[in-house]
Amino acid sequence: MMIRPYLYTLLFLFLTVVFSIAIGSVFIPPADLGRILIGWLNKAAFSEPLKTFSFIITDIRLPRTALVLLTGAALGGSGAAYQGLFRNPLADPYLIGVASGAGLGAVLAMSIKWPYSFWGLMAVPAAAFIGALLTVVLVYSLARIGKTIPTTNLILAGVAFGSFATALTTYLMLRSTGELHRAITWLNGGSSQAGWGPVLTVLPYLAIGLGLLLLSGHALNLLQFGDEQAQQMGLPVTRARTLILLAASLATAAAVSFSGIIGFIGLIVPHVMRLWFGADYRRLLPLSLISGAGALLLADIIARTVMAPQELPVGIVTALVGVPFFLWVLRRAKNQGYW
């Protein structure tokens, strides 16, 4: 097994995590960082300013880092899965309407005044999650013909329903009495809650979804030859495609429920991995997962420091930084037939 791709991507991930913890809108001098680290090891009590710094790291930066990593991993992994499933280089996790369904669910939930309690605050993420999953189920049922799910039908049904959901969401936002700002902020991925709550909530779904995806590398390889050849080589095609679709959608739904709609990670990260490390999905999936986490975290770091104390929405950074980077990688690609 080739070690180097994993080495590079894990190193990238490690570096971004280090930066994420060390950098923020509050400047913590590196020397103080060292002292805090030593203090943790000795279980020492801190005095100011280390006390505040330590608090910022443990209660703000660490949970946020964890949530962003999970989101990026979900987007990268499911992006690779969608591209393999649909055999389409333009596929991304939102292809069959997951994003639009999540947005509709969230905006619907925002129009109700929930009590300020644990469950009340979970209402919007839960509604987004349910909206995303319902969309997948609906699109899947619409596209089915007998025992097969033709790829074209899936895409068409997904795009159609996605447009419908987006239009409905926009309409609701226009008629909203004050929730417009909140809805826009959510859709751009900027209003996740602090603390470990979101991380713990999202973790089981991501574990299941991404876990299943990581086991599906071989199946995705076979599917690249087309449904017929894959079946002729022994893959139970309908079952495999359904499983991969649901696993990827589960991961995506969990990711967007707290982080909103962040684009380009799911589209670009798998392509970069493919260009650099080849098209074998057994490798592509875990590498896209790791790099997606690192890439989104990098975007998040930029988003919260470049114009501090103002925070840019992460979705803007992924587009503004991700696209030029991808074009650079594409230009430098030596192999023509990388897809």
Partner 1 sequence: MFRNLLFALLIVTLLVACGPAGISTPTAVSTEPPASAEPSAPPITLTDGLDRTVTLAGPAQRVVSLAASNTEILYAIGAGAQVLGRDETSDFPAEALSLPTVGGYSGFNLEAIVALHPDLVLAGGINTPELVASLEQLGLTVYFLPNPATLEEMYINLETVARLTGHESETAALVESLKARVAAVDDKISPLSYRPTVFYEMDATEPTKPYTAGPGTFVDLLIARAGGLNIGAELQGQWAQISLEQLVVANPAIIILGDAAYGETPEKVVQRTGWLTLAAIQAGQVFPIDDNLVSRPGPRLVDGLEAMAKLLHPGVFK
Partner 2 sequence: MLRIENLSVSFGMRRVLTDVSLEVNSGEVLALIGPNGAGKSTLVRAISGVIPLEKGRIHSDYVSGSSVNLLSLSSVQRARSLAVVPQAASMPPAFTVWETVLMGRTPWLNFLGQVSASDEAIARLALQKVDALDLSARRVGELSGGEQQRVLLARALAQSTPILLLDEPTSNLDLHYQVSFMETVSALARRDNLAVLVAMHDLNLAARYTSRVALLVDGKIKAMGTPLQVLTPELISIAYHLPVQVIPHPFADVPLVIPGNTAPVKTP
- State which of positions 258-287 bind partner 1 (CB under 8 A): 276
Phi-psi region of 146 (alpha: psi -120 to 50; beta: other; left: phi over 0): left
- State which of positions 70-99 bind partner 1 (CB under 8 A): none
> Which among partner 2, partner 1, none contacts residue 319 (Cβ within 5 to 8 A by kind)?
none
Please tell me whether residue 247 binds partner 1 under the rule CB under 8 A: no
Please tell me whether residue 88 binds partner 2 under the rule CB under 8 A: no
Contacts of 272 (CB under 8 A, 6+ apart): 291, 325, 326, 329
Contacts of 137 (CB under 8 A, 6+ apart): none
Name the one range near partner 2 by CB under 8 A: 71-79, 195-203, 233-241, 264-272: 233-241
Exactly one of 14, 55, 114, 339 binds partner 2 (CB under 8 A); that residue is 339
- State which of positions 178-217 bind partner 2 (CB under 8 A): 215, 217
286 CA to centre of own chain: 14
Exactly one of 17, 24, 102, 201 binds partner 1 (CB under 8 A); that residue is 24
Please tell me whether residue 150 binds partner 2 under the rule CB under 8 A: no
H or E segment to which residue 312 belongs: none
> Which among partner 1, partner 2, none contacts residue 226 (Cβ within 5 to 8 A by kind)?
partner 2
Helix (H, G, I), strand (E, B) or coil at 196: coil
Q: Is 208 exposed, middle or buried (0-12, 13-18, 19+ CB in 10 A)?
A: middle
Kindly state the smallest distance separating residue 301's Cβ from partner 1, in Å. Answer: 6
Q: Is 244 exposed, middle or buried (0-12, 13-18, 19+ CB in 10 A)?
A: buried
Name the one range near partner 1 by CB under 8 A: 98-106, 139-147, 201-209, 298-306: 298-306
Residue keyed to tokens 């319902």: 134
Q: How many CA atoms lie within 13 A of 79 on its CB side?
A: 30
Please tell me whether residue 225 binds partner 2 under the rule CB under 8 A: yes
CA–CA–CA angle 298, 292, 200 (5° rounding): 90
Exactly one of 170, 176, 188, 231 binds partner 2 (CB under 8 A); that residue is 231
Exactly one of 29, 89, 236, 324 binds partner 1 (CB under 8 A); that residue is 29
Torsion from C-alpha of 292, 293, 294, 299, nearest 10 degrees: 80
Exactly one of 312, 317, 318, 322 binds partner 1 (CB under 8 A); that residue is 312
Kindly state the smallest distance separating residue 297's Cβ from partner 2, in Å. Answer: 28
Name the one range near partner 2 by CB under 8 A: 72-80, 198-206, 248-256, 273-281: 273-281
Name the one range near partner 2 by CB under 8 A: 42-50, 169-177, 227-235, 321-329: 227-235
Contacts of 254 (CB under 8 A, 6+ apart): 74, 129, 202, 205, 206, 209
Residue closer to partner 2 (CB basis): 195 or 226:
226
Cα 164 from Cα 75, distance rounded (Å): 23
- State which of positions 45-84 bind partner 2 (CB under 8 A): none
- State which of positions 39-58 bind partner 1 (CB under 8 A): 48-49, 52, 55-56
> Which among partner 1, partner 2, none contacts residue 152 (Cβ within 5 to 8 A by kind)?
none
Residue closer to partner 1 (CB basis): 17 or 220:
17
User: Are residues 156 and 97 in contact, defined by beta-carbon separation less than 8 angstroms?
Assistant: no
Output the CA torsion sign for 116, 120, 122, 126. Answer: negative
Kindly state the smallest distance separating residue 35's Cβ from partner 2, in Å. Answer: 47
User: Are residues 257 and 102 in contact, defined by beta-carbon separation less than 8 angstroms?
Assistant: yes
Q: Point out which residues bind partner 2 (CB under 8 A).
A: 87, 215, 217-219, 221-222, 224-229, 231-237, 274, 278-280, 282, 335-339
